[in-house]
Structure 1
Amino acid sequence: MISGAMRGKGGDALARHLLKVENEQVIVLVPRGLGSRELINQVRELVALSLGGRTDRPVYHVHCDPDPEIADNDGARARFWHLFEAEFGLTGQPFCGAVHVKHARRHEHRVYSLVRPSGAVVDIGHDFARRERCARIVEYERGMPRPTPSKHSRAIVSALREQGRDDVADWMEASGTTQAARPVARLSPQERLIEERTGVSLDDLRAAALAAWRESSDGAGFLEALRARGLSLREGRSGPVVVDATGTAHLATRLVGAAARRADGERIPAGDVKARLAGLTLGKHGDDHGTAVGRDHAGAGRDQAAPGGPGDGARPRGDAGGEVARGRPGRADADGGRRGERGVGDALDRLAARPAAARLRAGLRLMGGGRNAALAQAVDSVRSRGWVWVPGTRTDIWGVPISADPPRLG
């Protein structure tokens, strides 16, 4: 039995995924704790019920797929969900979902709310190993000769013994699964979704990145080898990223390391990749949609050759009083940088110049979600009452200066 899970914000896309027509049959489950009849509205209701929790990822999407050797598919799924809910404390939590029939096999998806009525958020830490433990129990109880290989086998056996399930632990050890090499999935759930969305094979991308790595001996050579394969190298949030033809970024250390592990059985350390690329001047991912890597790199080289140029430790300067521009290295500040008439700085100045009452209301709105919109309306209502104003002071209870005509938010 295999299972997978992803935590997120929910939304209509998730409901459409559960209803996708590529399955031979989709059976919508009877929901728990929800009043809506259609699946898309059930997912929306789950999200609405989670607004009181202090999390921006209140929805937990889980699926389980019993092994074909298990004859009683329905019974195996029911047993898995019983163990799963007990393990994570999800018994009684609202959920919705669907059963998919594909190639004459059934697997089940459920979408749970992680926010309890009190506002507390369910702890799903180490969820992969915990779900695997539930699956191993089902496999043992349903008479499978061997457990499904798992990289967490040793940890699962230890946890089973702590729970008093020595029978399952002995079965796993007798199968040799705790001594076998740890299996590595070809794709993570997130990578699988990216591959489906972009249509770009991650295996092919990894192979191209590894070939470029082996052809080069320094960062500049790696960059040129990537360009020859239609790829570019940019600076991402967590370090250099390889950008494919669709503009999707892939962390270079992970891409090269995973490719080497699959090809040679030994991963190229992330430190080695970072060291080779440390001397490069790269544009930010998203600038020019990832198409100007060659120009950025070449421009940086020309700048370094010119004494006093941007490549000599300086940055291009705009026209506004020598303000340092925040553009890419080697690029002139053609539009006045970010301090122009429509820049970020000007926008911040306009926000700072707004009345205090308007700033307060904006802050409440930006705190997120319909809950705070309702809070802002409640503040409007309360502040309209005369007793809110504190006698003998120059400000109200929110610190807003009192005038003859008390201001109203908005």
Structure 2
Amino acid sequence: MIIKGGSRAGPRQLAAHLQRTDTNERMEVLELHSGIDDLAATFRDWQTLSEGTRGKKGLYHVNIDPDARYDMTPQQWARAVEVLEQELGLDGQPRAVVLHEKKGRQHIHIVWCRTDLETMTMRSDSNNYLAHERASLKLEREFGHEHVPGKHAKRDRAKQPEFPRADVSHAEHQQAERSGLSTQERRAQLAALKSSCDSGMAFKAAVEETGYVLARGDSKDFVLVGPEGSVYSLSRELKMKAGEARAFMADVDRDALPTASDAKAQQRDRQKDAEPPAFEMQRPPVEDLAPEPETQGEITDAQEQDSGAPELAPAVAAALAAREQAEAEKLAKWHHAELRQLRHVLVLEAREKIDGLRRQQQAERERFIRDGKLSGIEGYIEALQNRLNPGRGAEKRLERETAWKHLHKRQAIERADLRTLLRQDRAEHIAELKERHEQQRRDQQAGFARERIRYAEDSARAARLLAQVEEDRREAERRRQEGRAAEPPPRPAK
């Protein structure tokens, strides 16, 4: 049983993620300790409470993911939440529990409010990884699940003296899903290319022929951009130190290479050029598959052998075309809904960040005005000095006006920088989603092609069996006729 999570903010984005039905086969809210039946509004209220404690992360989000071999009962889910709550020290806090089911596998998300209303303080989240593993270990023993090794409380230091590190990170796992190659397979492929090359230029030509784009990273290192748009560190993929990788690529002009962003754009353009339109099937129309009426029945066995593959009957081809078109339209609608949901979440997230910056800047301006106002004896002395020395007062006013202008200018730059950053984040998130959609469409088209081949082979096999049955029937009929002819004629009656 694996438990992961931590403190966070972003109530709207979290609520939208928990309520997604496009990526989950099933979504059910098991618990919601709130006066309203709305996850987004509840999380927003819990986050607002944290502002009274001067805290920034008013939510604690965690997910419990048992092994797929074990079916959890509702009582076991409730027990898991109870044990984890006690280990984290969040007992008594309002919470929400959401069940997700994906590909027949269930896991739950729990979100707690960290603000203690009695003391108006935030419940501590220190040593939360230890708490996760203690709860996981306790639940595995209680439910009889197989023990999953960990890094902290579930680590046997006698048998596992070195700190365990995953061979593949979560980001690398997602990259492997997008590319269709596991991390080990990709690194083996690149290692084989390197061993066959004696220079950096030869390696550059080899990887680009394979479908990668060699680019320059943000630092001095080289990076590879895969056909699906994922960015890989060259030294990490080749299991070399950074200095060794630079020495191997010394004959490649790094400044002449494209940036990682430009390389990703090149890969997207290649994918678009290599792919047909989104709703166009990768096959000729059904009318082109069907033979002309006057030529039906004239296809000989020799023609079938020359074609290289059996053809579908017109009725079967038409039925397959209709079903494939319906499935393609269904996938396209799903993609459209997922893209619309992502855009909605990104808009809410951007609006929340912009509103936060606006409130922060307004407070800064009010503090500037408040600091410039002197009251009491200090104000009286300041006014008297300005009257006795008008030049000094004018100089102070000019300094204050200049500082005010600088404040406004700096805040305008901050707002512009935030908007630019939000636009870049939005473009990257949408590009990644579209890349995943394109890969799913390619997988669907490949599945359609395999299905058409299978149907054609089954049809040809059935036709051969029918012909064999007919031949056997004619042979049996012929033998029966020959047997009757060989029988002696009946004797005449006396």
Kept in 1: contact 2:59–2:111 (CA 8 A): yes
| 1:5-404 aligned within 5 A | 5=5, 10=10, 12-21=12-21, 22-32=23-33, 37-50=37-50, 60-67=60-67, 73-92=73-92, 95-102=95-102, 105-112=105-112, 122-124=124-126, 127=129, 130-144=131-145, 146-148=146-148, 150=149, 152=151, 156-157=155-156, 178=159, 187-193=168-174, 201-203=181-183, 205-237=186-218, 239-257=221-239, 272-273=244-245, 275-277=247-249, 280-282=252-254, 283=257, 285-286=259-260, 288-290=262-264, 369=357, 371-376=359-364, 378-379=366-367, 382=370, 387=375, 390=379, 391=382, 392=385, 401-402=399-400
Query: What is residue 313 of structure 1 aligned with on the other side?
Result: none
- Answer whether contact 2:46 2:113 (CA < 8 A) is retained: yes
Higher helix residue share:
2
1:334-390 per-residue CA deviation (whole Å, 9 max, x = no partner) reads xxxxxxxxxxxxxxxxxxxxxxxxxxxxxxx99963541441363376369674985
Q: For each residue in 1:280-335, what CA deviation from the matched residue of structure 2 results, as whole angstroms up to 9, or x when unmatched?
A: 54247345345689xxxxxxxxxxxxxxxxxxxxxxxxxxxxxxxxxxxxxxxxxx
Is contact 1:26–1:98 with CA below 8 Å preserved after alignment? yes
CA distance in 1, matches of 2:55, 2:237: 30
3-state SS in 2 of match to 1:131: helix
Do the aligned residues in 2 keep the contact of 1:395 with 1:402 (CA within 8 Å)?
A: no
Distance 1:366 1:67, change over 3 A: closer
Residues 20 and 292 of structure 1, relative CA distance in 2, 3 Å threshold? closer
* Structure 1 counterpart SS, 2:155: helix
Query: Which SS does the other structure have where 1:20 is aligned?
Result: coil
- What is the rounded CA distance, in whole Å, between the counterparts of 1:256 and 1:112 in structure 2? 43
Q: Is the 8 A contact 1:61 1:110 kept in 2?
A: yes
Q: Tell me how far apart the structure 2 counterparts of residues 215 and 51 of structure 1 sit (CA, whole Å).
A: 60
What is the deviation of 1:139? 0.9
Sort the Cα spacing of 1:133 and 1:287 in 2 relative to 1 into closer, same or farther, 3 A: same
CA contact (8 A) 1:2 1:66 kept: yes
Alpha carbons 1:68, 1:105 under 8 Å: kept: yes
The answer to whether the 8 Å contact 1:12/1:40 transfers is: yes
**CA shift in 2, pair 1:29/1:46, >3 Å:** farther
- Which residue of 1 is the match for residue 429 of structure 2? none
Q: Report the AA paired with residue 401 of structure 1.
A: E
Cα contact 1:395–1:401 (8 A) shared by 2: no
Partner Cα separation in structure 1 for residue 58 and residue 109 of structure 2: 17
- After superposition, give the CA deviation of every residue in 1:41-92 in whole Å (9 maximum; x if it has no partner): 3444455455578887775542112346656533433343334334444445
- Whether the aligned pair in 2 keeps the contact of 1:116 and 1:122 (CA below 8 Å) is no
The 8 Å contact of residues 98 and 108 in structure 1, kept in 2 or not, is answered as: yes
Determine helix, strand or coil for the equivalent of 1:30. Answer: strand
Cα distance change on mapping 1:19 and 1:202 into 2, 3 Å: farther
Q: How many residues align?
A: 303
Structure 2: which 5+ residue stretches go unaligned? 268-352, 387-391, 409-494
Q: Gapped runs of 5+ residues in structure 1?
A: 159-172, 258-267, 294-364
Larger RCO (alpha carbons 8 Å, 6+ apart): 2
Q: Residue 64 of structure 2 contacts residue 109 of structure 2 at CA under 8 Å; is this kept in 1?
A: yes
CA distance 1:186–1:275, shift in 2 (3 Å): same
Residues 54, 120 of structure 1: 8 Å contact kept: no
Which amino acid in structure 1 is aligned with residue 248 of structure 2? Answer: R
Does the aligned pair in 1 maintain the 2:114–2:123 contact within 8 Å?
Answer: yes
Shift of residue 278, structure 1, vs aligned partner: 6.1
Amino acid of the structure 1 residue aligned with 2:399: P
In structure 2, C-alpha distance between the alignment counterparts of 1:49 and 1:42, rounded to whole Å: 11
RMSD (Å), alpha carbons: 5.0
CA drift at 1:141: 1.8
1:98 and 1:290 map into 2 onto residues whose CA distance is 36
What is the TM-score when the length of structure 2 is the normalising length? 0.47
Asked if 2 retains the 8 angstrom alpha-carbon contact of 1:66 and 1:73, the reply is no
Which residue pairs with 2:424 in the alignment?
A: none
**Larger C-alpha radius of gyration, 1 or 2?**
2
Identity %: 24
CA distance in 1, matches of 2:175, 2:123: 28
Task: Note the C-alpha offset of 1:200.
Answer: 5.6
**Whole-Å separation in 1 of the counterparts to 2:8 and 2:156:** 30
- Identify if the C-alpha distance between structure 1 residues 247 and 96 changes in structure 2 by more than 3 Å, giving closer, same or farther: same
Distance across 2 between alignment mates of 1:240 and 1:52: 47
Aligned to 1:344: none
Tell whether the 8 Å contact from 1:15 to 1:43 is kept in structure 2 after alignment: yes
Residues 96 and 251 of structure 1: CA distance in aligned 2, closer, same or farther (over 3 Å)? farther
Structure 1-normalised TM-score? 0.55
Tell me by how many angstroms 1:99 deviates: 0.8
